[in-house]
A and B are shown apart, each in its own frame.
Chain A
Amino acid sequence: MAVFSGTDLRCVRGERPVFDGVSFRLNSGAVLELRGANGTGKSSLLRMMTGLLPSAGGTLSWNDEPIAADADAHRTRINYIGHLDGVKGMLSVAENLRFWMSLRAGAEADEERYHMALATFGIEALADTPARYLSAGQRRRVALARLVACPASLWLLDEPATALDTAAAAALDHTMGSHLGAGGMVVMSTHEPARHPTPRVDLNDYARRARGAVRTAAGMTA
Protein backbone atom coordinates (compact mmCIF):
# COMPACT_ATOMS: atom_id res chain seq x y z
CA MET A 1 0.00 0.00 0.00
CA ALA A 2 1.68 3.18 -1.17
CA VAL A 3 0.80 6.77 -0.34
CA PHE A 4 1.54 9.79 -2.51
CA SER A 5 1.06 13.06 -0.69
CA GLY A 6 1.77 16.76 -0.90
CA THR A 7 1.81 19.36 1.84
CA ASP A 8 1.61 23.14 1.55
CA LEU A 9 2.67 23.21 -2.09
CA ARG A 10 3.32 26.63 -3.53
CA CYS A 11 3.78 27.59 -7.15
CA VAL A 12 5.22 30.82 -8.50
CA ARG A 13 5.50 31.36 -12.24
CA GLY A 14 7.52 34.36 -13.39
CA GLU A 15 7.13 36.11 -9.98
CA ARG A 16 3.35 35.67 -10.22
CA PRO A 17 1.97 33.48 -7.43
CA VAL A 18 -0.25 30.77 -8.96
CA PHE A 19 -1.35 28.73 -5.96
CA ASP A 20 -0.38 28.38 -2.34
CA GLY A 21 -1.01 25.86 0.42
CA VAL A 22 -2.13 22.90 -1.71
CA SER A 23 -2.16 19.64 0.28
CA PHE A 24 -3.44 16.23 -0.73
CA ARG A 25 -3.09 12.57 0.17
CA LEU A 26 -3.57 9.78 -2.34
CA ASN A 27 -3.66 6.05 -1.54
CA SER A 28 -3.11 3.07 -3.83
CA GLY A 29 -6.11 2.42 -6.02
CA ALA A 30 -7.43 6.00 -5.87
CA VAL A 31 -7.87 8.91 -8.31
CA LEU A 32 -7.19 12.53 -7.53
CA GLU A 33 -8.88 15.03 -9.82
CA LEU A 34 -7.42 18.49 -10.27
CA ARG A 35 -10.04 21.06 -11.14
CA GLY A 36 -10.01 24.81 -11.54
CA ALA A 37 -10.38 27.58 -14.09
CA ASN A 38 -7.74 28.20 -16.77
CA GLY A 39 -4.52 29.51 -15.30
CA THR A 40 -5.10 28.27 -11.75
CA GLY A 41 -2.11 25.93 -12.01
CA LYS A 42 -3.46 22.45 -12.81
CA SER A 43 -0.68 21.74 -15.29
CA SER A 44 1.91 23.35 -13.01
CA LEU A 45 0.87 21.10 -10.12
CA LEU A 46 1.09 18.03 -12.36
CA ARG A 47 4.52 19.08 -13.63
CA MET A 48 5.60 19.55 -10.02
CA MET A 49 4.49 15.98 -9.28
CA THR A 50 6.43 14.83 -12.35
CA GLY A 51 9.55 16.59 -11.14
CA LEU A 52 9.70 18.88 -14.18
CA LEU A 53 8.88 21.99 -12.19
CA PRO A 54 10.53 22.70 -8.83
CA SER A 55 8.03 23.82 -6.21
CA ALA A 56 8.44 27.24 -4.60
CA GLY A 57 7.51 25.72 -1.25
CA GLY A 58 6.07 22.62 0.37
CA THR A 59 6.94 18.94 -0.03
CA LEU A 60 5.82 16.05 -2.20
CA SER A 61 6.21 12.67 -0.52
CA TRP A 62 5.99 9.01 -1.43
CA ASN A 63 5.23 6.82 1.61
CA ASP A 64 6.03 9.94 3.67
CA GLU A 65 9.58 10.12 2.28
CA PRO A 66 10.22 13.38 0.35
CA ILE A 67 10.51 12.52 -3.35
CA ALA A 68 13.26 15.13 -3.77
CA ALA A 69 15.48 12.85 -1.66
CA ASP A 70 15.40 10.16 -4.36
CA ALA A 71 14.30 11.72 -7.64
CA ASP A 72 15.59 8.73 -9.66
CA ALA A 73 13.30 6.34 -7.81
CA HIS A 74 10.36 8.71 -8.33
CA ARG A 75 10.92 8.76 -12.10
CA THR A 76 10.61 4.97 -12.26
CA ARG A 77 7.16 5.12 -10.64
CA ILE A 78 5.56 7.79 -12.82
CA ASN A 79 4.01 7.96 -16.24
CA TYR A 80 3.32 11.50 -17.40
CA ILE A 81 1.00 12.52 -20.22
CA GLY A 82 1.30 16.27 -20.84
CA HIS A 83 -0.26 18.65 -23.33
CA LEU A 84 2.29 17.73 -25.97
CA ASP A 85 2.04 14.18 -27.24
CA GLY A 86 5.77 13.52 -27.58
CA VAL A 87 5.10 11.56 -30.76
CA LYS A 88 7.77 11.78 -33.49
CA GLY A 89 6.17 12.40 -36.86
CA MET A 90 9.02 10.84 -38.83
CA LEU A 91 8.72 7.53 -36.95
CA SER A 92 5.93 4.98 -37.30
CA VAL A 93 3.50 4.36 -34.45
CA ALA A 94 5.26 1.09 -33.62
CA GLU A 95 8.72 2.76 -33.58
CA ASN A 96 7.42 5.53 -31.32
CA LEU A 97 5.97 3.07 -28.83
CA ARG A 98 8.95 0.71 -28.86
CA PHE A 99 11.31 3.64 -28.26
CA TRP A 100 9.51 4.59 -25.05
CA MET A 101 9.40 0.95 -23.98
CA SER A 102 13.17 0.66 -24.49
CA LEU A 103 13.73 3.41 -21.90
CA ARG A 104 11.94 1.41 -19.17
CA ALA A 105 13.88 -1.40 -17.57
CA GLY A 106 11.73 -4.52 -17.72
CA ALA A 107 9.54 -3.31 -20.58
CA GLU A 108 12.08 -3.37 -23.44
CA ALA A 109 11.12 -6.68 -25.01
CA ASP A 110 7.67 -7.26 -23.58
CA GLU A 111 5.82 -8.20 -26.80
CA GLU A 112 2.59 -9.03 -24.99
CA ARG A 113 2.49 -5.59 -23.36
CA TYR A 114 3.30 -3.90 -26.66
CA HIS A 115 0.40 -5.59 -28.47
CA MET A 116 -1.91 -4.93 -25.54
CA ALA A 117 -1.02 -1.21 -25.67
CA LEU A 118 -1.88 -1.01 -29.37
CA ALA A 119 -5.09 -3.02 -28.91
CA THR A 120 -6.28 -1.01 -25.90
CA PHE A 121 -6.42 2.22 -27.88
CA GLY A 122 -7.40 0.63 -31.20
CA ILE A 123 -4.26 1.59 -33.12
CA GLU A 124 -3.07 -1.88 -34.27
CA ALA A 125 -3.92 -1.04 -37.88
CA LEU A 126 -1.82 2.14 -37.67
CA ALA A 127 1.30 0.42 -36.30
CA ASP A 128 3.32 0.91 -39.49
CA THR A 129 1.94 4.35 -40.36
CA PRO A 130 4.33 7.28 -39.97
CA ALA A 131 2.94 9.33 -37.11
CA ARG A 132 2.93 12.54 -39.17
CA TYR A 133 -0.10 11.21 -41.10
CA LEU A 134 -2.14 10.76 -37.92
CA SER A 135 -4.96 13.02 -36.77
CA ALA A 136 -4.76 14.84 -33.44
CA GLY A 137 -6.96 12.22 -31.79
CA GLN A 138 -4.90 9.35 -33.19
CA ARG A 139 -1.67 10.94 -31.96
CA ARG A 140 -3.26 11.27 -28.55
CA ARG A 141 -4.09 7.56 -28.64
CA VAL A 142 -0.44 6.78 -29.38
CA ALA A 143 0.63 8.96 -26.43
CA LEU A 144 -1.89 7.22 -24.16
CA ALA A 145 -0.74 3.78 -25.35
CA ARG A 146 2.49 4.56 -23.45
CA LEU A 147 0.50 4.17 -20.22
CA VAL A 148 -0.08 0.51 -21.02
CA ALA A 149 3.29 -0.10 -22.70
CA CYS A 150 5.44 1.39 -19.92
CA PRO A 151 4.26 0.13 -16.54
CA ALA A 152 4.38 2.63 -13.66
CA SER A 153 2.36 2.93 -10.50
CA LEU A 154 1.54 6.65 -10.59
CA TRP A 155 -0.13 8.11 -13.68
CA LEU A 156 -0.01 11.90 -14.02
CA LEU A 157 -2.43 12.89 -16.74
CA ASP A 158 -2.90 16.46 -17.97
CA GLU A 159 -6.35 16.63 -19.58
CA PRO A 160 -5.85 13.17 -21.10
CA ALA A 161 -9.14 13.07 -22.99
CA THR A 162 -8.29 16.08 -25.23
CA ALA A 163 -9.10 15.30 -28.90
CA LEU A 164 -10.31 11.78 -28.07
CA ASP A 165 -13.54 10.38 -29.57
CA THR A 166 -16.07 8.63 -27.32
CA ALA A 167 -14.66 5.14 -28.02
CA ALA A 168 -11.12 6.18 -27.09
CA ALA A 169 -12.35 8.08 -24.03
CA ALA A 170 -14.15 4.92 -22.92
CA ALA A 171 -10.96 2.90 -23.52
CA LEU A 172 -9.06 5.40 -21.37
CA ASP A 173 -11.67 5.08 -18.60
CA HIS A 174 -11.44 1.31 -18.78
CA THR A 175 -7.61 1.34 -18.71
CA MET A 176 -7.63 3.67 -15.72
CA GLY A 177 -10.12 1.35 -14.02
CA SER A 178 -7.89 -1.70 -14.37
CA HIS A 179 -4.82 0.33 -13.34
CA LEU A 180 -6.60 1.41 -10.16
CA GLY A 181 -7.87 -2.11 -9.60
CA ALA A 182 -4.28 -3.34 -9.67
CA GLY A 183 -3.37 -0.85 -6.92
CA GLY A 184 -2.18 2.00 -9.15
CA MET A 185 -2.81 5.70 -8.63
CA VAL A 186 -4.00 8.40 -11.01
CA VAL A 187 -3.75 12.17 -10.72
CA MET A 188 -5.54 13.90 -13.57
CA SER A 189 -6.60 17.40 -14.47
CA THR A 190 -9.98 17.59 -16.14
CA HIS A 191 -12.79 19.95 -17.05
CA GLU A 192 -15.37 17.23 -17.64
CA PRO A 193 -18.28 17.00 -15.21
CA ALA A 194 -17.53 14.41 -12.54
CA ARG A 195 -19.37 11.11 -12.92
CA HIS A 196 -18.19 9.45 -9.74
CA PRO A 197 -17.48 11.05 -6.40
CA THR A 198 -13.65 11.25 -6.38
CA PRO A 199 -11.23 13.12 -4.16
CA ARG A 200 -10.31 16.38 -5.78
CA VAL A 201 -8.21 19.49 -5.40
CA ASP A 202 -10.03 22.61 -6.53
CA LEU A 203 -7.25 24.99 -7.48
CA ASN A 204 -9.61 27.98 -7.69
CA ASP A 205 -9.51 28.27 -3.89
CA TYR A 206 -5.73 28.05 -3.64
CA ALA A 207 -5.21 30.48 -6.50
CA ARG A 208 -7.44 33.00 -4.74
CA ARG A 209 -5.45 32.47 -1.56
CA ALA A 210 -2.13 33.03 -3.38
CA ARG A 211 -3.39 36.27 -4.92
CA GLY A 212 -4.88 37.36 -1.58
CA ALA A 213 -1.54 36.80 0.12
CA VAL A 214 0.12 39.13 -2.34
CA ARG A 215 -2.53 41.76 -1.78
CA THR A 216 -2.05 41.59 2.00
CA ALA A 217 1.72 41.72 1.62
CA ALA A 218 1.40 44.77 -0.63
CA GLY A 219 -0.98 46.37 1.86
CA MET A 220 1.42 45.83 4.70
CA THR A 221 4.35 47.46 2.96
CA ALA A 222 2.25 50.43 1.85
Chain B
Amino acid sequence: MNSFSALIARDLRLACRQASDSLTVLAFFILVTVLFPLAVGPEPGILARIGAGVVWVAALLAAMLSMDRMFQSDYDDGTLELLVAAPIPLEIVVLAKASAHWLTTGVPLIAAAPLMGVLLNLEPEGYGALLLALALGTPSLSLIGAVGAALILGSRRGGALLSLLILPLFVPVLIFGVAAVEASLTDVSARPQLLILAALALAALALTPWPAAAALRQAVE
Protein backbone atom coordinates (compact mmCIF):
# COMPACT_ATOMS: atom_id res chain seq x y z
CA MET B 1 0.00 0.00 0.00
CA ASN B 2 2.90 2.24 0.86
CA SER B 3 4.56 1.73 -2.52
CA PHE B 4 1.17 2.19 -4.21
CA SER B 5 0.75 5.66 -2.71
CA ALA B 6 4.42 6.47 -3.35
CA LEU B 7 3.92 5.69 -7.05
CA ILE B 8 0.79 7.84 -7.27
CA ALA B 9 2.51 10.67 -5.38
CA ARG B 10 5.45 10.53 -7.78
CA ASP B 11 3.20 10.57 -10.87
CA LEU B 12 1.13 13.46 -9.51
CA ARG B 13 4.31 15.39 -8.76
CA LEU B 14 5.55 14.74 -12.30
CA ALA B 15 2.17 15.82 -13.69
CA CYS B 16 2.32 19.07 -11.71
CA ARG B 17 5.82 19.83 -13.01
CA GLN B 18 4.65 19.10 -16.57
CA ALA B 19 1.23 20.70 -16.19
CA SER B 20 1.08 21.35 -19.94
CA ASP B 21 0.26 17.65 -20.50
CA SER B 22 -2.93 17.76 -18.44
CA LEU B 23 -3.84 21.20 -19.74
CA THR B 24 -3.51 20.00 -23.34
CA VAL B 25 -6.02 17.26 -22.64
CA LEU B 26 -8.44 19.73 -21.08
CA ALA B 27 -8.01 22.27 -23.90
CA PHE B 28 -8.59 19.51 -26.47
CA PHE B 29 -11.79 18.45 -24.68
CA ILE B 30 -13.12 22.01 -24.66
CA LEU B 31 -12.12 22.70 -28.28
CA VAL B 32 -13.74 19.54 -29.66
CA THR B 33 -16.96 20.34 -27.79
CA VAL B 34 -16.94 23.93 -29.04
CA LEU B 35 -16.59 22.72 -32.64
CA PHE B 36 -20.03 21.06 -32.57
CA PRO B 37 -22.21 24.19 -32.23
CA LEU B 38 -20.13 25.70 -35.03
CA ALA B 39 -20.61 22.66 -37.26
CA VAL B 40 -24.29 21.76 -36.67
CA GLY B 41 -25.52 25.32 -36.16
CA PRO B 42 -26.60 27.13 -32.99
CA GLU B 43 -30.16 25.68 -32.97
CA PRO B 44 -30.72 25.08 -29.17
CA GLY B 45 -33.02 22.08 -29.74
CA ILE B 46 -30.46 20.17 -31.80
CA LEU B 47 -27.64 20.98 -29.38
CA ALA B 48 -29.69 19.86 -26.38
CA ARG B 49 -30.48 16.62 -28.24
CA ILE B 50 -26.86 15.75 -29.05
CA GLY B 51 -25.24 17.41 -25.99
CA ALA B 52 -24.62 14.34 -23.84
CA GLY B 53 -23.19 12.36 -26.76
CA VAL B 54 -20.87 15.18 -27.76
CA VAL B 55 -19.50 15.59 -24.23
CA TRP B 56 -18.88 11.84 -23.97
CA VAL B 57 -17.18 11.48 -27.36
CA ALA B 58 -15.01 14.52 -26.65
CA ALA B 59 -14.09 13.08 -23.24
CA LEU B 60 -13.14 9.72 -24.81
CA LEU B 61 -10.92 11.36 -27.42
CA ALA B 62 -9.33 13.67 -24.86
CA ALA B 63 -8.56 10.77 -22.52
CA MET B 64 -6.99 8.89 -25.48
CA LEU B 65 -4.71 11.83 -26.13
CA SER B 66 -2.70 11.32 -22.93
CA MET B 67 -2.95 7.56 -22.74
CA ASP B 68 0.04 6.63 -24.89
CA ARG B 69 2.32 8.48 -22.46
CA MET B 70 1.17 6.48 -19.44
CA PHE B 71 4.23 4.20 -19.47
CA GLN B 72 6.28 5.77 -22.27
CA SER B 73 8.57 8.06 -20.27
CA ASP B 74 9.22 5.35 -17.65
CA TYR B 75 10.07 2.99 -20.51
CA ASP B 76 12.42 5.47 -22.16
CA ASP B 77 14.48 6.39 -19.08
CA GLY B 78 14.82 2.88 -17.63
CA THR B 79 12.45 3.41 -14.69
CA LEU B 80 10.12 0.73 -16.04
CA GLU B 81 12.71 -2.07 -15.94
CA LEU B 82 13.59 -1.07 -12.40
CA LEU B 83 9.90 -1.19 -11.48
CA VAL B 84 9.59 -4.66 -13.02
CA ALA B 85 12.63 -5.76 -10.98
CA ALA B 86 11.43 -3.97 -7.81
CA PRO B 87 10.01 -5.99 -4.91
CA ILE B 88 6.40 -4.92 -5.55
CA PRO B 89 3.79 -6.69 -7.70
CA LEU B 90 3.73 -5.19 -11.19
CA GLU B 91 -0.08 -5.27 -11.09
CA ILE B 92 0.08 -2.73 -8.25
CA VAL B 93 2.31 -0.54 -10.42
CA VAL B 94 -0.29 -0.72 -13.21
CA LEU B 95 -3.11 0.21 -10.80
CA ALA B 96 -1.09 3.12 -9.44
CA LYS B 97 -0.25 4.41 -12.92
CA ALA B 98 -3.90 4.10 -14.05
CA SER B 99 -5.08 5.89 -10.88
CA ALA B 100 -2.61 8.71 -11.45
CA HIS B 101 -3.77 8.94 -15.07
CA TRP B 102 -7.38 9.21 -13.92
CA LEU B 103 -6.53 11.87 -11.34
CA THR B 104 -4.63 13.97 -13.87
CA THR B 105 -6.99 13.61 -16.87
CA GLY B 106 -10.30 12.06 -15.75
CA VAL B 107 -10.90 14.47 -12.88
CA PRO B 108 -10.21 17.67 -14.90
CA LEU B 109 -12.58 16.36 -17.62
CA ILE B 110 -15.33 15.77 -15.06
CA ALA B 111 -14.76 19.25 -13.62
CA ALA B 112 -15.03 20.88 -17.06
CA ALA B 113 -18.07 18.83 -18.17
CA PRO B 114 -20.80 21.08 -16.59
CA LEU B 115 -19.40 24.08 -18.48
CA MET B 116 -19.60 22.08 -21.71
CA GLY B 117 -23.19 21.19 -20.79
CA VAL B 118 -24.07 24.87 -20.60
CA LEU B 119 -22.40 25.46 -23.94
CA LEU B 120 -24.51 22.70 -25.53
CA ASN B 121 -27.75 23.84 -23.88
CA LEU B 122 -28.09 20.64 -21.87
CA GLU B 123 -31.34 20.52 -19.85
CA PRO B 124 -30.81 21.15 -16.10
CA GLU B 125 -32.07 17.62 -15.22
CA GLY B 126 -29.21 16.06 -17.17
CA TYR B 127 -26.29 17.50 -15.21
CA GLY B 128 -26.45 15.16 -12.23
CA ALA B 129 -26.52 12.07 -14.44
CA LEU B 130 -23.77 13.43 -16.72
CA LEU B 131 -21.40 14.04 -13.81
CA LEU B 132 -22.17 10.73 -12.13
CA ALA B 133 -21.81 8.85 -15.41
CA LEU B 134 -18.45 10.52 -16.12
CA ALA B 135 -17.26 9.85 -12.57
CA LEU B 136 -18.13 6.15 -12.93
CA GLY B 137 -17.04 5.80 -16.56
CA THR B 138 -13.68 7.58 -16.73
CA PRO B 139 -11.89 5.17 -14.33
CA SER B 140 -12.72 2.36 -16.79
CA LEU B 141 -11.14 4.42 -19.57
CA SER B 142 -7.88 4.82 -17.62
CA LEU B 143 -7.78 1.14 -16.67
CA ILE B 144 -8.52 -0.20 -20.16
CA GLY B 145 -6.15 2.40 -21.57
CA ALA B 146 -3.37 1.04 -19.34
CA VAL B 147 -3.51 -2.29 -21.19
CA GLY B 148 -3.25 -0.56 -24.56
CA ALA B 149 -0.50 1.79 -23.37
CA ALA B 150 1.52 -1.19 -22.13
CA LEU B 151 1.00 -3.11 -25.39
CA ILE B 152 2.23 -0.32 -27.67
CA LEU B 153 5.53 0.26 -25.80
CA GLY B 154 8.44 0.10 -28.17
CA SER B 155 6.34 0.29 -31.33
CA ARG B 156 6.57 3.09 -33.85
CA ARG B 157 3.52 5.35 -34.24
CA GLY B 158 2.16 3.89 -31.02
CA GLY B 159 -0.42 6.64 -30.53
CA ALA B 160 -2.39 5.81 -33.68
CA LEU B 161 -2.15 2.09 -32.95
CA LEU B 162 -3.41 2.71 -29.42
CA SER B 163 -6.57 4.42 -30.71
CA LEU B 164 -7.32 1.45 -32.96
CA LEU B 165 -6.78 -1.00 -30.10
CA ILE B 166 -8.61 0.82 -27.37
CA LEU B 167 -11.46 2.91 -28.83
CA PRO B 168 -13.59 -0.17 -29.67
CA LEU B 169 -13.25 -1.28 -26.04
CA PHE B 170 -14.61 2.09 -24.88
CA VAL B 171 -17.92 1.54 -26.71
CA PRO B 172 -19.84 0.02 -23.75
CA VAL B 173 -18.80 2.90 -21.50
CA LEU B 174 -19.89 5.37 -24.18
CA ILE B 175 -23.28 3.70 -24.73
CA PHE B 176 -24.24 3.52 -21.07
CA GLY B 177 -22.71 6.90 -20.28
CA VAL B 178 -24.90 8.62 -22.87
CA ALA B 179 -27.92 6.45 -22.02
CA ALA B 180 -27.72 7.55 -18.38
CA VAL B 181 -28.04 11.22 -19.37
CA GLU B 182 -30.83 10.50 -21.90
CA ALA B 183 -32.76 8.57 -19.26
CA SER B 184 -32.63 11.40 -16.76
CA LEU B 185 -33.75 13.85 -19.46
CA THR B 186 -36.88 11.78 -20.15
CA ASP B 187 -37.75 11.56 -16.44
CA VAL B 188 -36.77 7.90 -16.22
CA SER B 189 -34.37 6.81 -13.51
CA ALA B 190 -30.74 6.69 -14.69
CA ARG B 191 -29.95 4.17 -11.97
CA PRO B 192 -29.66 1.03 -14.19
CA GLN B 193 -27.23 2.72 -16.59
CA LEU B 194 -25.17 4.11 -13.71
CA LEU B 195 -25.06 0.69 -12.07
CA ILE B 196 -23.84 -0.86 -15.32
CA LEU B 197 -21.13 1.81 -15.57
CA ALA B 198 -20.09 0.99 -12.00
CA ALA B 199 -20.02 -2.72 -12.89
CA LEU B 200 -17.85 -1.98 -15.93
CA ALA B 201 -15.45 0.00 -13.74
CA LEU B 202 -15.23 -2.83 -11.20
CA ALA B 203 -14.69 -5.39 -13.96
CA ALA B 204 -11.93 -3.23 -15.44
CA LEU B 205 -10.37 -2.85 -11.99
CA ALA B 206 -10.35 -6.60 -11.50
CA LEU B 207 -9.31 -7.68 -15.01
CA THR B 208 -6.99 -5.10 -16.59
CA PRO B 209 -3.94 -5.11 -14.23
CA TRP B 210 -2.93 -8.63 -15.26
CA PRO B 211 -2.76 -8.23 -19.06
CA ALA B 212 -1.18 -4.78 -18.62
CA ALA B 213 1.50 -6.19 -16.30
CA ALA B 214 2.16 -9.05 -18.73
CA ALA B 215 2.56 -6.55 -21.57
CA LEU B 216 5.00 -4.48 -19.49
CA ARG B 217 7.11 -7.57 -18.72
CA GLN B 218 7.15 -8.33 -22.45
CA ALA B 219 8.17 -4.74 -23.23
CA VAL B 220 11.27 -4.73 -21.01
CA GLU B 221 12.50 -8.17 -22.07
Contacts and interface: CB of A to CB of B under 8 A. Distances in A.
Interface of A: 50-54, 72, 75-76, 78, 80, 82-91, 95, 99-100, 102-105, 108
Given A51-B85, A84-B78, A95-B10, 12 more contacts: A52-B84, A80-B81, A82-B82, A86-B77, A86-B79, A86-B82, A88-B79, A91-B10, A91-B17, A100-B82, A103-B7, A103-B86
Interface in B52-98: 77-79, 81-89
A88 B83 CA distance: 13
B221 A87 contact: no
Contacts of A76: 87
B6 interface: yes
A75 B85 contact: yes
Contacts of B17: 90-91
20 contacts: A50-B85, A52-B84, A52-B85, A52-B220, A53-B221, A75-B86, A80-B85, A82-B82, A84-B78, A86-B77, A86-B82, A88-B79, A89-B77, A91-B10, A102-B6, A103-B83, A103-B88, A105-B2, A105-B87, A108-B6
Interface string B127-141: 000000000000000
A52 B18 CA distance: 30
A52 B88 CA distance: 14
Nearest to A49: B85
Contacts of A85: 77-78
A75 B87 contact: yes
Contacts of A72: 87, 89
A72 B77 CA distance: 24
Which A-B residue pairs are the 9 nearest by beta carbons?
A: A84-B78, A102-B6, A86-B78, A76-B87, A75-B87, A86-B82, A90-B17, A86-B79, A103-B3
Given A75-B87, A86-B81, A91 B13 contact: yes
Given A85-B78, A90-B17, A90-B18, A99 B6 contact: yes
Contacts of B85: 50-52, 75, 78, 80
